[in-house]
Chain A
Amino acid sequence: MGLPLMMERSSNNNNVVELSRVAVSDTHGEDSPYFAGWKAYDENPYEESHNPSGVIQMGLAENQVSFDLLESYLEKKNPEGSMWGSKGAPGFRENALFQDYHGLKSFRQAMASFMQQIRGGKARFDPDRIVLTAGATAANELLTFILADPNDALLVPTPYYPGFDRDLRWRTGVRIVPIHCDSSNHFQITPEALEQAYQTARDANIRVRGVLITNPSNPLGATVQKKVLEDLLDFCVRKNIHLVSDEIYSGSVFHASEFTSVAEIVENIDDVSVKERVHIVYSLSKDLGLPGFRVGTIYSYNDNVVRTARRMSSFTLVSSQTQQLLASMLSDEEFTEKYIRINRERLRRRYETIVEGLKKAGIECLKGNAGLFCWMNLGFLLDTKTKEGELALWDVILKELKLNISPGSSCHCSEYGWFRVCFANMSEKTLDIALKRIHEFMDPTSGG
């Protein structure tokens, strides 16, 4: 196994020291087209005036549509507070010393209140069940460490966020077994698909520890129906496994009434043994458009999970300055109500713009109602309905249209030809340009 443990001094010149399997594996998934497209964008980024023929980034699910609301709030309410907190310099010093993994109480209360508001008050959140992590990425990995042992599996419906391959598997040694969903029922999870995935795992002698869903779904851009959530919870109870619901896009549902959080379902359940298998992941990166702030949370109904997650969060704490900065903003209910409402409206309009634009070019999308992206069907353009065919088309779109979109295969979609297209990380003008490039590609005779 590798080099002998003792080497003579004189022959050491070729003695290169080895790294671990984790370090050299590609389980981080960063070689996939999902990330490769980002590289192309980095090398030749579109810029309205300086580089109008550059690559337009449509592979990054970032929300820039409502920045102005945040900026004006911070400037108006608290110009100094941005740096120092409400108490000024002495407050900052106190803040800088605070490193408790429980997190600032005021910030947890603010998060609980914000999460409640997003769900229209249909579920309550206890600040003491909130564990802070440096982003949802860390939250998902942490939960995986806590709920599963190496070589166990989590069931994840396809298509899923490519980052899960890294977040759930890389360091944890846990596997992902896909729950196959397809377009015949708009990619909703069926009880049959669940059973099949579970059985696949059992046949391979793999122990299933839980189901992990995103709701609203990334990359589908659609909410999970209430009935499906209830079936999922039933399934988890029957198999005695966990249910993790990654709800980082919950504030980006176009119409509030169309979103059912798993928290609402659990709210009406008294049986602790049912409740304590449910865990929710949330982050401010998508709804508030603050990915750089790296604020994520785990909300669990299981005391043991909360306790362990808190300790484990020592590896991934949120800076106290960031907590302070956001605490007052998120507890300002007047502001958050306005923000959530306007953000939803703007996202809905963007979505309609892109879907209409694509329709005019003869391209259909899955009916979506949430998120920062749409799920586009280009199956009819593939030479062959295979992964290679899909990647060939993706390559053409990247190199000729200079649009970076995400191929469905990188999301483990079992049907080829689907692509995720982000629309919230650019100005409306840039979106128009992107649509124009697509029109020209679909109908070269349409003129420019």
Chain B
Amino acid sequence: MTRTEPNRSSKSDSENSGGSGGGGGGTTAMRVIVPLQGVVQGRGGLFLGSVIPCAFFYFLQFYLKRNRKNEPDSGEPSPDSDPSSGSPDPTRSQSVGNLTELASLPRSLSRILLSPRLSGGAVSVSGRAGCVLKGGDSPYHVGQKRVEEDPYDDSGNPDGVIELGSAHNTKMDWVSEDPGEAISDGLCMSGIASYEPSHGLIELKTAVAGFMSEATKNSVSFDPTQLVLTSGAASAIEILSFCLADSGNAFLVPTPCSPGYDRDVKWRTGVDLIHVPCRSADNFNISMLVLDRAFYQAKKRGVRIRGVIISNPWNPTGTLLSRENLYALLDFARERNIHIISNEVFAGSVHEEGGEFVSMAEVVDTEENVDRERVHIIYDLSKDLSFPGLRTAAIYSFNESVLSASRKLTTLSPVSSPTQHLLISAISSPKFVQRFLKTNRERLMRVYAELVKGLKELGIECTRSSGGFFCWVDMRGFMSSYSEKGEIELWNKLLNIGKINVIPGSCCHCIEPGWFRLCFSNLSERDVPVVMNRIRKVCETCKSQN
């Protein structure tokens, strides 16, 4: 963002050189430039009156930029500090991007101004904290809050808000499905209370490796010593971001993507995300050409790309990446000498009949070391096993240096040991794991089929989802205008009239407005007609208004 500052800011200031003073962003600079201009105008007229202040301005920027070289963009208000931002994405709305850059100038003139002075308190917090506090609430959070305040319950609160936003799998009741077999150990304090390696007990790693192998239908054998366990997928992604990229670098991420990346990858690391749009015309498949172009455009701007982040099954579309896709990505990464982060958190939730999940681990199995070392996989027990509260996710890597750094970093986000022991008991039984995965898949398949049928009856299409918990739904026909504004209006109607919480495509950085992510793992087959009725109500409202 700072790379374009001098050009944009100096241009806008010369436009304002009539002395009217810029907006809030240029005011302080104006105080310097306007009097200077007055001095010059007497001799050299308008020409010198414009050129000299601009030159001064340019050099001032250069000087300041050098002095704050080591700082990431902590002073800039970043709307992307939340999991998904409600404020417009710069790629979709140019004017907002401009405002951001202008606003950053006065902050750099004074270190005091760098820290937001917040109401009620004299002492300031960091730029990183400031972002969160100044950014408004995104649809992601607003929706979540509405669900908390008024949660749907089929008997107790049938008019409540149905949660179709976040990726919980609440309907798998594995605990009552024979907990005795799954969990046999009691709690022995002295065995679990003392310090253990923060990156996870080897027994749990072994169990997780076994589970992951089962999820890939045993086409890959995962090595427990290449696993690092941590307290959630957010932490796993952040740890990898810290290990693979420096502040100011970037990852390429094909969009639409998980809303969580804005927080997990960017927030504390200072690493940026460069969105590579996929389009409905291509069924949202990744175009290697577009990826390549994004890479070179970034390079031209002086941004170093350190890796590409993919998810498989894809969040939010539910697509499974083919072997060809994965080989093409590996080639791309090899040629550019960058990493691949493969987010495989839904590996165990492939619900399409005959759907084949291919892990990146399988693809690199036969490759040379130098290529294996660029691949890192994220897995999350909470997704497939439907217990998010237990906070257990994993990084799987072939790169010993990454593993070594990650292990140390897990001291900052370790898995609680009673939880580790509980999980060891639960998932060490192969019979239990197989039965669980099978039941999970079948249930998801049934609900998904009902949902797609219901949507079709309403004239709503969605992309073909083969795995994971999401339906990527095309509601372009119901927007009042084909724009982000139109999308947010529709989202509001779905939430307030339909009382269903879905995620608008803008939170997933989708370049085409009108797509919504609908999570169906929270639904039973009985709930689907209720959801359809709600959507129908909103559709009818939209049709009558448009």
Contacts and interface: CB of A to CB of B under 8 A. Distances in A.
A321 B416 contact: yes
B216 to A, nearest CB: 24
A183 interface: no
Contact of A273 (B122, B129, B299, B419): B122
Nearest to A102: B148
Contact of A1 (B299, B304, B382): B304
A322 B193 contact: no
Given A16-B370, A316-B235, A316-B413, A304 B246 contact: no
Contacts of A295: 416
Interface stretch (B52-60, B69-77, B320-328, B465-473): B69-77
B502 interface: no
A199 interface: no
Contacts of B243: 19-20, 22-23
Interface in B12-28: none
B72 to A, nearest CB: 6
Nearest to A239: B123
A314 interface: yes
B126 A12 contact: no
Interface in A1-58: 1, 3, 5-9, 12-24, 28, 30
Interface stretch (B168-176, B281-289, B358-366): B168-176
A415 interface: no
A92 B268 CA distance: 33
A209 B124 CA distance: 8
Interface stretch (B384-392, B439-447, B504-512): B384-392
B461 interface: no
B297 interface: no
A390 interface: no
Interface residues of A, number: 93
Contacts of B193: 67, 70, 289-293
Interface stretch (B42-50, B207-215, B335-343): B335-343
Contacts of A291: 193-195
Contacts of A28: 408-409
Interface stretch (A147-155, A338-346, A399-407): A147-155
Interface stretch (A93-101, A122-130, A432-440): A93-101
Contacts of B368: 13
Q: Which of B132, B133, B235, B416 has the most CB of A within 10 A?
A: B416
Nearest to B168: A97
A315 interface: yes
A308 interface: yes
28 contacts: A7-B337, A15-B337, A15-B370, A17-B337, A18-B337, A19-B401, A20-B243, A20-B306, A23-B242, A24-B405, A74-B189, A82-B187, A89-B176, A134-B231, A145-B126, A173-B247, A273-B121, A289-B193, A291-B193, A293-B416, A294-B417, A305-B125, A307-B132, A308-B125, A315-B264, A316-B235, A317-B231, A321-B416
Given A83-B422, A150-B71, 9 more contacts: A70-B189, A149-B128, A150-B247, A241-B123, A273-B123, A276-B123, A314-B234, A317-B231, A325-B418
